[in-house]
Structure 1
Amino acid sequence: MSVFKAYDIRGTWPDQIDSDLARRIGRAYATFLGRGPIVVGRDMRASAPEIQGAFIDGVRDRGLDVIDAGLCSTPELYFAIGHLGAAGGVNVTASHNPAEYIGFKLCREEARPISADDGIRDIEALATAAEPPAAQAERGGLEQVDVLASYHDHVLRWADLSRPVRLASDAANGMAAHTFPGLLARLPRIEHHGLYYELDGSFPNHEANPLKKANLKDLIALVGETGAEVGAAFDGDADRCCFVDDRGRAVGNDIVTALVARDVLAGEPGAAIVYDLRSSWILPETILAAGGRPVRERVGHSFLKARMREYGAPFGGELSGHYYFRDNWFADNSEIILLSVLKLVTAADRPFSALLDELMPYHSTGEVNFRVEDKQAAIDRLRAHFADGRQDDLDGITIAFGEPGSSGWWWVNLRPSNTEPLLRMNLESDRREIMEQRAAEVIEVLGVEPE
């Protein structure tokens, strides 16, 4: 399986990605970008220093200057690109993947992502050619820069706490353990109770993937033990944040998007808010009710960021826990969304759970995965079975029956994963029995049990 993915480059070390390939990728990226300087950071994995060093050597081989940001969360890397006016940047990370993985998240100027459709395939061709791009006569320079304090200054622009607040968080031994303590030191109104704030790329406590409920159990217990008003779980490279409320419930990221969108629109009436098509119908309803313009987009950070730039949208969110901010170079940032939520919780006369309850009137399956040999055939079967529904092909297939505000409506989206050999289903209705009945019907049409 190729290490060149839809949104990044990722594989196991050292069998799939070693120093030789990293250097080739560095040369290929530099050739593709064509100018410097390039900011390069890395996460806390055991393989990251070696792979970062080889990648930097490859970039410098092609004559481009490199700014070495050292240990760096992905949001910190995005910030560094914009703040330093760099031509591009790369974080050497495998995000939430297990310890044996390593990879590269690639950007152009202003933290614009490079994906398969607009660069990764070109970089792959250059890196895997029999003769990779040759070294230039004049080698690029190297400068080491620590942007963490400036990054903290930037993120603190979103800090607006009306009163003291008790927060529980889980860094999962990932890069939030590098960035978040410095923010907390400058936010004395936060009483913080933290888990797993030791940088450890072996992830000794649990996977650094907060979308999996099993990885939230320690945080949920901590919320209960401490009486925390908000719980926050970070992923490995700290670009995602998932929430637990004061009652110990895992919160849907689309519901958090709706909550924050309402506040954003209070300050910017009529603005566009971009969201991914898996989100609950409560999200566009909330955006409209707040006087905003809901903009539905296919799944994937490169698509949402591009659409936000097109509309000048101040905010956007994905079901995966990525939240995007116009004033952060349209990039995702876990700490900015956490401060945005804490702002709302401290300003409210009700607990976090009560703020969420009014945004959760509907019933959803959540994302359900199916391992299917022929993905397109499965999508076509669903299309034919529900031929009388409203259908669109923005991402896989979405089929809807009824309208919000009516009784008995439901919708389903079935799409191929961009990162794994799976079909992913999301289904929602205003009535639980319809949600359960239609989910069973979809499973029957697919002819395979969910994973």
Structure 2
Amino acid sequence: MSIPEHIFKSYDVRGLVEGELSTDLAYRIGRAFAVFLRTNNFIKEDQKVVSGRDMRLTSPDFQKEVVRGLNDEGVDVVNIGLSSTPFFNFACVSFPNYVGGIMITASHNPAEYNGFKFTLSSGLSVGKESGLMDIKDLVFKNEFVDSRKKGDVENIDIFEDYKNKVFSFVDKEKIKKFKIVVDAGNGMAKVTLPRILSELPVEVEYLYLEPDGTFPNHEANPLKTETLVDLQKKVLEIGADFGFALDGDADRVGLVDDKGQVVPASFVGALLGLEILKKHHKSLMLCDLRSSKMVQDIWKKSGASVDLSMVGTANIKKQMQESKASFASELSMHFYYADLSNVENTDLSLLYILQMLSERAEKLSDVWHNMQTYYHSGEINFEVKDKEKVLNGLKEKYGNAEKMLELDGFSFYFSDFWFNVRQSNTEPVLRLNLEADTEDIMKEKLLEVSEFIQS
């Protein structure tokens, strides 16, 4: 079977199980990652590589072949078995004898997909600009030389270490009684979240908790609001304080308030950032350049300095490491914590939300509505044949802006509105985000910019 080049994405390897992925590819990826680690002096003789997988139907076979490839290169492997991406990342960054690892997952993609994520012991992802193309070249050349000594495999259980680390950032004795709903989306949340919440005075009703790689109830992608309908209904039905959703590999969240309303990503990020500032006073915080200006306003009012970041996990983790930022919020509902080596952790995000609500005498719906000062369009996608032509046309038309930023596409800032247009890292589209001081201006400018892009 030939290997299509397009499965090597910006941040991982991901493709259709039928016709694009195979056990042979998985084996080559294991070997290639081992060579990559040695070539770049990332691995020492006594260090091991972490292996984890999600619940997709092909993940066990793919993991088996990845491990075999690593072993054939003489690399020892620690197998953490079924894993969420936050749990896997914790394993990669928390133990000095583990050098990083490979996670078998297609994250929030539908059942017909699978993939491979790579994390180093620094917490950094191996992406297009940081080694993934080297791994791709090794996979395609397929010129591996067997090691004289094969590596070993060890099955390990690190949950107690993980739990203790996550709880070290909050005072669980101060968390009050809440009634919440958790929609696990038949993904990997069950690995950690129920055991975390069982130690708190929280009444939890779970939806779709059992891992099932066929996703029989809905796509495990809380960014798509249609996947949150069941969660919204259940919150209202039982009178819950809020609802919490996770994607397939449990590194992305969705939040529904007590009125059944979906809380936009910028507000979730802003609230989590305020919790971080209680410990990391006056620290640097990052928000991706699509985020509402409200995020910067609120964080700065609380003493933080704020920088904008590019979109994408590899870009954000790298910027966090270089700038020493304490937290980063991404509009894709990934939230990154310097306290956890700059990686995402949805369990910690939920604990911070519980902690925040325990300290406030307000409902979640009141908390985030009181923060709303601007009107954001949300992200809108356009299929465009000549993306560069459109981007250059926008630069010419809106070049008289008070400020223009060429970071991940073009951002134009005017007195009463701003917008960003960028090429997707994962799809053949242009993505538009626009925000204005009033709803009327937002609608007017959104129509104007959209018509220009489509013309």
TM range (shorter): over 0.9
Correspondence 1:17-416 to 2 at 5 A: 17-34=21-38, 35=43, 36-85=47-96, 86-129=98-141, 131-160=142-171, 161-187=174-200, 189-389=201-401, 390-402=403-415, 409-416=416-423
Of 2, 5, 9 in structure 1, the residue corresponding to residue 9 of structure 2 is 5
Helix, strand or coil: the match of 2:443? helix
Inter-partner Cα distance in structure 1 for 2:138 and 2:425:
22
**AA matched with 1:245:** D
How far apart, CA to CA, are the structure 1 residues paired with 2:453 and 2:62? 42
Shift in Å, 1:240:
0.9
TM-score normalised to the size of structure 2? 0.94
* Structure 1 residue 14: Cα displacement: 4.1
3-state DSSP class of the match of 1:117? coil
Q: CA deviation at 1:388?
A: 0.9
Q: CA deviation at 1:373?
A: 1.1
Are the counterparts in 2 of residues 43 and 71 from structure 1 also a CA contact under 8 Å?
Answer: yes
1:79 maps to a residue whose letter is F
The alignment status of 1:441 with 2:448, answered yes or no, reads yes
Matched residue count: 440
Q: Per the alignment, in what secondary structure is the counterpart of residue 122 of structure 2?
A: helix
In the TM superposition, residue 124 of structure 1 has moved relative to its aligned partner by: 0.1
1:143-201 alpha-carbon deviations (Å, 9 max, x no partner): 111222322222222343432111111000000022211112222x1110110001100
CA offset at residue 266 of structure 1? 3.0
SS at match of 1:137: coil
Deviates more, 1:354-363 or 1:410-419: 354-363
8 Å CA contact 2:93, 2:120 repeated in 1: no
Which residue of the partner structure matches residue 405 of structure 1? none
**Superposed CA RMSD:** 1.2
* TM-superposed deviation, 1:225: 0.7
- The match for 1:16 among 20, 26, 30 is 20
Distance 2:143 2:261 in 1: 51
Q: After superposition, what is the alpha-carbon deviation per residue over 1:297-337, rounded to whole angstroms, capped at 9, x for unaligned?
A: 11011111122222322211101010111111110011111
The whole-number CA distance in structure 2 between the counterparts of 1:312 and 1:14 is: 42
Deviation of 1:142 after TM superposition, in Å, equals 1.1
Of 385, 406, 430, the match for 1:423: 430
Give me the whole-angstrom Cα distance separating, in 1, the residues matched to 2:186 and 2:143. 36
Structure 1, residues 330-354: CA drift from partner, whole Å, max 9, x if none?
1001111111111111111111111
- One-letter amino acid of the structure 2 residue matched with residue 102 of structure 1: N
Q: Could you list the runs of 5+ residues in structure 1 that have no partner in the other structure? A: 403-408
CA contact (8 A) 1:284 1:294 kept: yes
Question: Partners of 1:152 and 1:200 in 2: how far apart?
Answer: 24
Equivalent residues of 1:258, 1:359 under 8 A apart: no
3-state secondary structure, aligned to 1:372: coil
Which shows bigger deviation, 296-305 or 254-263? 254-263
Shifted more, 381-390 versus 3-12: the winner is 381-390
Displacement of 1:141: 1.4
Name the TM-score, length of structure 1 as normaliser.
Answer: 0.95
Q: Percent identity?
A: 38
* Counterparts of 1:310 and 1:21, CA distance in 2: 33
Greater CA deviation, 77-86 or 258-267? 258-267
On the 8 A contact 1:41/1:77 being kept in 2, the answer is: yes
SS at match of 1:128: helix
